[in-house]
Amino acid sequence: MNRLRLLLITLLLLPIGFAQEQTELRIAWWGSQNRHDRTIQVIELFEELNPDVDVIFEPSGWNDHWTKMTTQAAGNNLPDIMQQDYARLQEWVSRDLLLPLDDYMGSTIDNTYIGDASLAGGMVGDQLYAINLGTNSQTIILDADAFEAAGLELPSPDWTWAEFEEIAMTLQEELGIWAIGPGLYNDQMWKSLYMGYGQWSYDDSGAALGYEDDAPFVAYLEMIQRLIDAGAMPSRAEDVAEFQDQGVEAIPLVAGRSAMDSIWSNQIVAVWTAAGEDRNLRMWHLPRTEGGQSQNYVKPSMFFSITKNSPNPELAAEFIDFFTNSVEANEILFAERGVPISSVVRDGLVPDLSAAQLEMFDYLARVEADSSPIRPPDPAGHADIISNVYEPIIVDQVFYGQIPVARAVDMLRREATRILAQNQ
């Protein structure tokens, strides 16, 4: 009897005398400060609902995120959950760093209200490695008041690059500001340019470039150089000094220093918040080549993946389910990463959407009605090509005036072909 009494007393005292043991869950993502703040609030909500869990979070900017993840992968120290990008998913799967999620679907991760198309982007081969955090597409964001001040009507939805250049020059001449920010020479625009021809930067096998004619890319880069020379777009030096590696809150359009900018649709929330809710901003399709098809495609904005050596994969899957399916969590996230993939969540958000979110939801509906099919994830050599060929040659050497455009594009072809062959 004395032993039983002692045991009961001990059990009663345990919650008072000892802290509850917690399981740590690490999560890493990239994004703007707005995304960081919203994600941290959702993490705090998850911890309130799960007091035995301590979520360690590691937010970064885009470049720092991938540097950190690569370093942690080399040291076998990746977080349980990492934010993943469509362009890099294939590479991380090929390195055996991500855990297939198929066994969690329909059980830990509820997919009752998620369409198959919303999950397809996270498939590599016949397995699911990533959960889409929102649908997304590239967009040119327009300051409608700036267009009016310049005496211009908003362009047609299927405007061409020739019309874009004419509009940009007029905006600069009439307003004395940049027509557009510095994003036009990034690698996503290279890929989308060829999508307008029914092609892509890589072929479906990932073993070679997906196009044979370099002339469209040469013409596109020469157009950018004309815009820079005319003062209609920041120079490369101005980009590096003021905008590179900054959040989208720093793009020129936010401060009224440009009339247009190129962003991903999910970034509109951060941009509009930083610019001020009284701004009259609109989201527009990418321009296209004369007679070409849409250069837009509906893309998973980003994913959550569970890393292969996570010590707590079941708990990681529970967090992803909460992030994806909880209306309460998504009232905090508020579609900042893109249009949610759960129909229940989408319906729950509509009555409270801001002007930015309503514009994003409307824009994605327009893109879905006029878009090109999504292509397979980029091959394993993509990151090497971008970091060691595209950015130093196309972005830096061309737009610092060190080499001619045609020579740079030829160098891109030769070096990319070599890298792709090495990764087969």
Answer yes or no: are the C-beta atoms of 252 and 270 closer than 8 Å.
no
Q: What is the full per-residue pLDDT of the chain (424 aa) written as tens digits?
A: 444 454 444 445 445 444 568 999 999 999 999 999 999 999 999 999 999 999 999 999 999 999 999 999 999 999 999 999 998 998 899 999 999 999 999 999 999 999 887 898 899 989 999 999 998 999 999 999 999 999 999 999 999 999 999 999 999 999 999 999 999 999 999 999 999 999 999 998 899 999 999 999 999 999 999 999 999 999 999 999 999 988 899 999 999 999 999 999 989 988 999 999 899 999 999 999 999 999 999 889 899 999 999 999 999 999 999 999 999 999 999 888 989 999 999 989 989 988 998 899 899 889 888 999 888 888 889 989 999 999 999 999 999 999 999 999 999 999 999 999 998 7
pLDDT of 116? 84
Give start and end residues of each alpha helix (H) in 75-186.
Answer: 86-94, 116-120, 144-149, 161-175
Task: List all residues 6 or more positions away from 336 whose beta carbon is below 8 Å from its beta carbon.
Answer: 34, 35, 38, 266, 269, 270
With CA atoms as reference, report the closest residue to 308 among 69, 116, 107: 69
Are 152 and 233 in contact by the 8 Å Cβ rule? The answer is: no
Can you tell me the distance from the alpha carbon of 283 to that of 138, in angstroms, rounded to the nearest whole number? 9
Return the amino acid letter for 118.
S
Alpha-carbon span 94 to 347, nearest angstrom: 37
- φ and ψ at residue 287, rounded to 5 degrees: -60, 165
β strands within 322-380, DSSP E: none
Residue 260 · residue 181 · CB < 8 Å? yes
Task: Determine contact, residues 370/285, Cβ cutoff 8 Å.
Answer: yes
Backbone region of residue 306 per phi and psi (left: phi > 0; alpha: psi in -120 to 50; beta: other values) = beta
Q: How far is CA 169 from CA 141, 154, 223, 229, in A?
A: 17, 15, 11, 11
CA distance 244 to 181: 11
- How much is the pLDDT for 373? 86
